[in-house]
Amino acid sequence: MRPFSYDRAAGAPGDAGTTWLAGGTTLLDLMKLDVMRPERLADINGLGLAEVRLDAQGLHLGALARMAEVAGNAEVQRHFPVVAQSLALAASQQLRNMASLGGNVLQRTRCPYFRDPSHAACNKRNPGSGCGAMDGANRLQAVLGTSDACIAAYPGDFAQALVALDAEVTLRGAAGERRMRFADLHVQPGTTPERETTLRPGELITGFTVPAGPWAARSLYLKVRDRESYAFALASAAVALDLDGKVVREARIALGGVATVPWRAAEAEADLRGKVLDEASATRAAEAAFAAARTHGENAFKPELGRRTLVRALLLAKRMEA
Amino acid sequence: MTAPAESGGLERRFLLGGGAMLPLLAGTATAQPTPATPAHEGRSMEMTLQVNGQAHRLALDSRTTLLDALREHMGLTGSKKGCDQGQCGACTVLLDGRPVLACLTLAAGVGTRPVITIEGLHGRDGGLHPMQQAFLDQDAFQCGYCTPGQIISAVACVRQGHAGSAEEIREFMSGNLCRCAAYPQIVAAVQQAAPLVEQG
Amino acid sequence: MPDGFGTDHQRIDGRAKVTGGARYASDVVVGNVAHAWLVTSAIARGRITGFEDAEARAVPGVLEVFTHRNMQGAVAETEFFAKGGYVGSTIRPLESDQVWHAGQIVALVVADTLEAAREAAQRLRVRYAEEAPAAGFDAAGVEVVAASDAGFEDAGVGDADSAFAAAAVKVEASYSTPTQHHNPIELFTTTASWAGGKLTLHEGSQFVHGLKHGIAAQLRIDPADVHVVSPFIGGAFGARGSITQRTALVAEAARRLGRPVKLVPTRAQGFTIATYRAETRQQVKLAASRDGRLQALVHEGWEVTSRPDAYKVGGTATTSRIYACPNVRTKVHMVHADRNTPGFMRSPPELPYMFALESAMDELAYALDMDPVQLRRINDTQREPIKGLPYSSRNLVGCLDAGARAFGWERRSPAPRSMRDGEWQVGWGVATSIYPAHIGTATARVTLLPDGRARVQTAAHDVGTGAYTAIGLAAAEGLGLALERIVVELGDSDLPPAPVAGGSNTTASVCNVVIKACEEIRARRAQGQQGAIEVYAENVPEGLPPDSIGKLYQGRNALGGGLEGGKQAMAAFGAIFLEVRVHDRTREVRVPRVLGAFAAGRIVSPRQARSQLTGGLIWGIGAALHEQTEIDPRSARYMNDNMAEYLVPVNADIRQVEVLLLDEQDTQANPLGIKGIGELGNVGTNAALANAVFHATGTRPRDLPVRIEHLMA
């Protein structure tokens, strides 16, 4: 870990040299591994930004609300089950107590070539050095949104709920406050995998707004993993359904564990619209969701597991009382 | 719709966590961050940590984690280092009443929030805490290395109302790895102690 | 009220453990300590061509950067553990520019603070001339050596190949088990300090006398000048039995700096600076007559080891001796690759090899259309078939019957895919467990004080097994005292020597010698001796040479018993019954219940015995379902060297675990009839799980771990 200065941020915008410290669960970990080398840490834990509020517009979440607080909130559980579940099924209770929502969506990949600087090849850590995972240990890496430069999977869960429900993210920077679609926050690796988000230098996530919608109550997060708890997703699905009897008025679907970014499955949603939701239509939608999947050896099982996960999630959501 | 039930808790955390920041936050309009504490380039920082009801004045490297502060600078070695990366739970302590991983917490960021470690747990009579007694009775450990972290999480499990069923306990306790695999006995210990540990 | 063998009691070291008062090696406060950080190799094969250390040395607080440039010759060559020496690997880091495996120690940085040591280590640049490594079985450049050519004996009897060819019913299949790492939660820490030419080591150890003598040999000093302190050990599982090479380096650094040095390696470094369970490939052929009686057993294995060290897993010594079978052929091969040296990990030979045998037995049961419990019952024997030695006691059939009854086995519908609960396919599996009963030469000192308190002193080790309590109960039994009146001191090389905490021998070895000392105390008291009575006792078990006491005092073990030597075969047995649920769509495998029924001689300390066996069963589940060290075949590097991606079971994975302990009086194995149980619980559990998965799904898992992707077809 490199030396750094430590300040308690007082609410002013940062600059390119500022690294915000919230829960620290990703940052401290990667600093210890010498992957992240910030020179100036600005501790934002004194800034408040911990709102958890529901109103007619939807769910308002401060960036410094902790995962555990939101996961355990009875109103969130009732009205936005997919949000609460995506948080509750992530990490451990200690990490959920520490990690902020803003930090969580910026959680960085678990790709082993990224996390250890003694591996020479990692385009994300060291642009132009190659990708160790492409022909290496990639069981947990992505099959959607990959490029020839990077297949590192986005490891989080909560972001899938946000992207499925068309959430907005609020940002504060030198030019003041701005809002954008949460789906526009993460960027696929393309030829520049070192660039993971559209955040501007020094910009701080201050909160999220999840709009109310007829689908929000009939929503869930299904996470398939090697262990019963405390493991990253091999495949996950955030789904929200607005049903007219058996017919899908609107489906909202995002996929985790399989993609380089929180992955909205727009093709699957389109496929389901106006259809009777059953095994056959869910299977067709799942096939559409993974039509563009590219596998790399160890992760060859992921499209099939991802399809099955989505089908299971859709049929579970259909059976929900909402 | 109503305000979330936990909002009181959030406010309390906010005040304890960074109450001193409030006036600055309200009043600041400058382009530069206003440091509440002087910046340090990885060198010594002065701080006072509130651990187990005692104030510890320390001068620490800004990089020092709460875990290393406890173990290397305060002689409180009950909290263990098993991975130093937030993966095993052996370093679990209560920070402001909530279980957190001391290995991923910067000492400098703790501020005035109270820290409780295994050394700070005790029963009403000053003897063993009911959870410690339950771990002993149920043989809920073998090598004992993960045990302080397990017991801290177990206390929080009951206090926060997650000990309602074996399944709930198992899920809550899953952030504390036990390589000797005393898991069934740990669940039994939480169940034994639950009626004796206050919730809330 | 006197306590004794069989008393249900809390751990006598438990209070220290639940209060945080138990001091593990890195908890000991040593004044003026400097902090060390390791730099490990990024390549698996080749040479170090240079260091760029200016940046590292410029970090404020750095005291020294040790590399082979300034450490060469500091650590003497010593013999490999498996050849009767001390070290778990003969690869000496910092001895030359040669790199034998990925993660080999290439530098040791020492600084005033751990923050500075870590920063400097991360700033040290190492240049290599890299050669293509051979990572394992399928790599070009591995060297395959038959174990029989390296001095090991392959068990065999009759003509297995002819019998197999002629038999009515047969199965033949290949199995594999993965690389696994012990991952005790306590890291591989060492604190070394010198005073007046004497070295004190605080290090978790399964063999403090071995560490004392080994480090003395490595550093070319008098063993009398080494003191190893290890009263509490944060998990071991075999990882702390032989000496790792980091200890001598830390001690040497402390000697040169004139200051105590403390090393707390990272979790990732623990994967390469200590040992691990080698991956295996195995082929099993079983043949039976139509009534289910075994006619032929062929078991061949291939195991990875390092380039210089012949570490053999060799579980065929056990698998060839379990069932009545007139024709047996076994063969083991070692495959030398560019890897760190593997070593003992909980049930080292039995866990991988019994997976193959007990899976094949299940396959044979299906081929015979016979209940798998019945197949094992039919092939039970009171004599091992290789040399015809009688078992000192053996109640496998009792375990199978009691276990089947308690599990409700008669409600199992035999056909694969025939049981279900909603969306979950249900499967029940069974397997045999066996672990050889070992006993070693041991010494102890017992002191009875006039006020009726007693003290037991022996350099045995409680690695979480409950040895403190078991040994205390032996003294309670021997002296007729309450356990509260007994103090037990272990884990210190100044105490009379006891064997390595390995091969599940400690309870048998130490209780027998403690009882001997207690008998002497009682005799002296009967003769009228007054005041404190202190007795030092030695015990050389039947079949071990008298000079094994002298060897033990040199840190060399003498273990007897087991299956291969002597006039009898000695082993503990068990039967594992396990239920899995496999989701019919997404294929998660969950284990709602497991039951182990065990016949393991005299149970000294029942509460801790249950914990040991419970933990063993859960280890078996982890070994079957979760644990695998992933290796990049291009670089021969371990890729999931952390506790987030090297998966071990968490609390939520474990539901109902039941342990049945059968009464078993063994008057032959040793005077007290004690058999070890520390490794019994995890043997066979992996096979029981795989057999249950087959029953649930119709897919036969032959390669561990069983993962979702293997069940997708």
The model's pLDDT over B56-109, given as tens digits with 9 standing for 90+, comes to 999 999 999 999 999 999 999 999 999 999 999 999 999 999 999 999 999 999
In this structure, the number of other CB atoms found within 10 A of the CB of residue A247 comes to 14
Sign of CA dihedral A82, C650, B110, C187: negative
pLDDT of B16 strictly over 60: no
**In-domain check, residue B73:** yes
Look at residue C127 and give its three-state secondary structure.
strand
CA of residue A5 relative to chain centroid, distance: 29
Active site residues of C: 679
Closest CA to A33 of C125, C111, C266: C266
Residues B51 and B116 occupy one common structural domain: yes
**In-domain check, residue B10:** no
Per-residue pLDDT at B123:
92
**Is A80 part of the contact surface with chain C (CB cutoff 8 Å)?**
no
Closest CA to C288 of C318, C325, C329: C325
CATH topology agreement for domains C14-21+438-561 and C31-131+186-234+240-273: no
| Residues C533/C447, Cβ–Cβ less than 8 Å | yes
Choose the final residue of a domain: B90, B120, B150.
Answer: B120
Share above pLDDT 90 across residues of chain B, in percent, rounded to a whole number: 75
**Angstrom distance (rounded) from CA C577 to CA C408:** 10
Share above pLDDT 70 across residues of chain B, in percent, rounded to a whole number: 78
Q: Which residue of A has its CA nearest to B41?
A: A5
**In-domain check, residue B135:** yes
The one-letter amino acid code at C240 reads R
Closest CA to C687 of C362, C438, C394: C362
Per-residue pLDDT at A10:
80
Residues B139 and B73 occupy one common structural domain: no
Per-residue pLDDT at A322:
73
Question: How many helical (H) and strand (E) elements, i.e. helices and strands, does chain C have?
Answer: 17, 29
* Domains recognised in chain A with CATH numbers: 219-319 (3.30.390.50)
**Angstrom distance (rounded) from CA C605 to CA C506:** 13
Per-residue pLDDT at C576:
98
Per-residue pLDDT at B44:
87
pLDDT of B37 strictly over 70: no
**Angstrom distance (rounded) from CA C130 to CA C46:** 5
| Residues C593/C661, Cβ–Cβ less than 8 Å | no
- Computed over its alpha carbons, how large is the radius of gyration of chain C? 26
Q: Which residue of B has its CA nearest to A12?
A: B33
Closest CA to C613 of C601, C625, C595: C595
Question: What residues are paired with C174 via a beta bridge?
Answer: C283
Q: Which residue of A has its CA nearest to B17?
A: A46
| Averaged pLDDT, A222-234 | 98
Per-residue pLDDT band for C712 (boundaries 50, 70, 90) equals very high
Per-residue pLDDT band for B5 (boundaries 50, 70, 90) equals very low
**Angstrom distance (rounded) from CA C243 to CA C261:** 18
pLDDT of B25 strictly over 90: no
- Computed over its alpha carbons, how large is the radius of gyration of chain B? 18
Q: Which residues of A touch C631 (CB under 8 A)?
A: 137
**Which of the residues A94, A118, A122, A131 would you substitute to probe the C interface, choosing the one with the greatest number of C C-beta atoms within 10 Å?**
A118
Closest CA to C589 of C685, C690, C688, C657: C690
Q: Which of B29-43, C409-423, C464-478 has the lowest mean pLDDT?
A: B29-43
Per-residue pLDDT band for A42 (boundaries 50, 70, 90) equals very high
Q: Which residues of C touch A32 (CB under 8 A)?
A: 118
Whether residue C626 and residue A116 make contact (CB cut-off 8 A), yes or no, is: no
pLDDT of B17 strictly over 80: no
Per-residue pLDDT at A321:
84
A residues 27-56 closer than 8 Å to C (CB): 32, 34
Q: Which residues of B touch A11 (CB under 8 A)?
A: 21, 24-25, 28
Backbone angles phi, psi at B125, to 5 degrees: -85, 10
**Angstrom distance (rounded) from CA C224 to CA B128:** 41
The model's pLDDT over C286-344, given as tens digits with 9 standing for 90+, comes to 999 999 999 999 999 999 999 999 999 999 999 999 999 999 999 999 999 999 999 99
Share above pLDDT 70 across residues of chain C, in percent, rounded to a whole number: 100
**Angstrom distance (rounded) from CA C8 to CA C322:** 32
More confident residue, B10 or A116: A116
- Cα atoms found within 13 Å of the Cα of residue A96, Cβ hemisphere only: 25
Nearest-by-Cβ selection for A229 from C626, C635, C652: C652
Residues whose CB falls within 8 Å of the CB of residue C48, separated by 6 or more in sequence, listed in order? C41, C67, C68, C97, C98, C99, C106, C126, C127, C128
Residues whose CB falls within 8 Å of the CB of residue C626, separated by 6 or more in sequence, listed in order? A226, A227, C647, C648, C649, C653, C705
pLDDT of B39 strictly over 80: no
pLDDT of A39 strictly over 70: yes
Strands lying side by side in the sheet with A52-55: A52-55, A58-62, A204-211, A168-173, A176-181
| Residues C166/C151, Cβ–Cβ less than 8 Å | no
Domains in chain B: how many in total?
2
**Angstrom distance (rounded) from CA A147 to CA A158:** 24
In this structure, the number of other CB atoms found within 10 A of the CB of residue C162 comes to 12
Which CATH topology does C145-180+277-437+566-711 take? Aldehyde Oxidoreductase; domain 4 (3.30.365)
pLDDT of B26 strictly over 80: no
| Averaged pLDDT, C107-119 | 98
Question: What residues are paired with C433 via a beta bridge?
Answer: C574
Q: Structure pTM?
A: 0.96
Could you tell me the CA-to-CA distances from C257 to C66, C192, C212, C357 in Å, in that order? 11, 11, 21, 54
Q: Which residue of C has its CA nearest to A235?
A: C586
**Angstrom distance (rounded) from CA B12 to CA B25:** 17
Q: Which residues of A touch B106 (CB under 8 A)?
A: 6, 21, 24, 28, 41, 43
**Is C32 part of the contact surface with chain B (CB cutoff 8 Å)?**
no
Q: Looking at residue B136, which CATH number applies to its domain?
A: 1.10.150.120
| Averaged pLDDT, A83-93 | 98
Strands lying side by side in the sheet with B98-101: B54-61, B44-51, B115-116, B92-95, B98-101
| Averaged pLDDT, C370-380 | 98
Closest CA to A227 of C630, C326, C472, B170: B170
Taking all residues of chain C, what is their mean pLDDT, rounded to a whole number?
Answer: 97
Whether residue A24 and residue B43 make contact (CB cut-off 8 A), yes or no, is: no
Per-residue pLDDT at B6:
32
Sign of CA dihedral C133, C139, C145, C150: positive
Per-residue pLDDT at B69:
98
pLDDT of C188 strictly over 70: yes
pLDDT of B12 strictly over 60: no
Measure in Å the smallest separation between the Cα of B128 and chain C Cα atoms.
8
**Angstrom distance (rounded) from CA C602 to CA C473:** 13
In this structure, the number of other CB atoms found within 10 A of the CB of residue C564 comes to 16
Residues B146 and B99 occupy one common structural domain: no
A residues 177-236 closer than 8 Å to C (CB): 224-232, 234-235
The model's pLDDT over A138-186, given as tens digits with 9 standing for 90+, comes to 999 999 999 999 999 999 999 999 999 999 999 999 999 999 999 999 9
**Which of the residues A8, A25, A53, A73 would you substitute to probe the B interface, choosing the one with the greatest number of B C-beta atoms within 10 Å?**
A8
The model's pLDDT over C124-168, given as tens digits with 9 standing for 90+, comes to 999 999 999 999 999 999 999 999 999 899 999 999 999 999 999
- Computed over its alpha carbons, how large is the radius of gyration of chain A? 19
Q: Which residue of B has its CA nearest to C268?
A: B83
pLDDT of B9 strictly over 70: no
**Angstrom distance (rounded) from CA B3 to CA A94:** 25
Q: Which residues of A touch B35 (CB under 8 A)?
A: 7-8, 10
Choose the final residue of a domain: B96, B120, B144.
Answer: B120
Whether residue A69 and residue B156 make contact (CB cut-off 8 A), yes or no, is: no
What are chain B's partners, defined as 3 or more CB pairs within 8 angstroms?
Answer: A, C
**Is B18 part of the contact surface with chain A (CB cutoff 8 Å)?**
yes
pLDDT of A306 strictly over 60: yes
Using DSSP bridges, classify how beta strands C261-263 and C190-195 pair: parallel, antiparallel or unpaired: antiparallel
**Angstrom distance (rounded) from CA C263 to CA B144:** 21
A residues 7-46 closer than 8 Å to B (CB): 7-14, 18, 21, 23-25, 28-29, 32-33, 40-43, 45-46
Which numeric CATH code is attached to C14-21+438-561?
Answer: 3.30.365.10
**In-domain check, residue B98:** yes
Answer whether the bond into residue B33 is a cis peptide, omega within 30°.
no
| Residues C637/C703, Cβ–Cβ less than 8 Å | no
Residues whose CB falls within 8 Å of the CB of residue C92, separated by 6 or more in sequence, listed in order? C75, C77, C245
Residues B138 and B110 occupy one common structural domain: no
pLDDT of B8 strictly over 50: no
Assigned superfamily of C31-131+186-234+240-273:
Aldehyde oxidase/xanthine dehydrogenase, a/b hammerhead (3.90.1170.50)
**Angstrom distance (rounded) from CA A101 to CA A44:** 13
Sequence ranges of the domains in chain C: 14-21+438-561, 31-131+186-234+240-273, 145-180+277-437+566-711
Q: Which residues of C touch B153 (CB under 8 A)?
A: none
| Averaged pLDDT, A285-305 | 98
Look at residue C551 and give its three-state secondary structure.
helix
Q: Which domain holds residue B95?
A: 44-120
Q: Which residue of C has its CA nearest to A31?
A: C119
**In-domain check, residue B141:** yes
Look at residue C241 and give its three-state secondary structure.
coil
Per-residue pLDDT band for C593 (boundaries 50, 70, 90) equals very high
Q: Which residues of A touch B100 (CB under 8 A)?
A: 94, 97-98
| Residues C523/C483, Cβ–Cβ less than 8 Å | no
pLDDT of B24 strictly over 80: no
pLDDT of B29 strictly over 70: no
Per-residue pLDDT at B200:
62
**Which of the residues B74, B171, B183 would you substitute to probe the C interface, choosing the one with the greatest number of C C-beta atoms within 10 Å?**
B183
| Residues C44/C631, Cβ–Cβ less than 8 Å | no
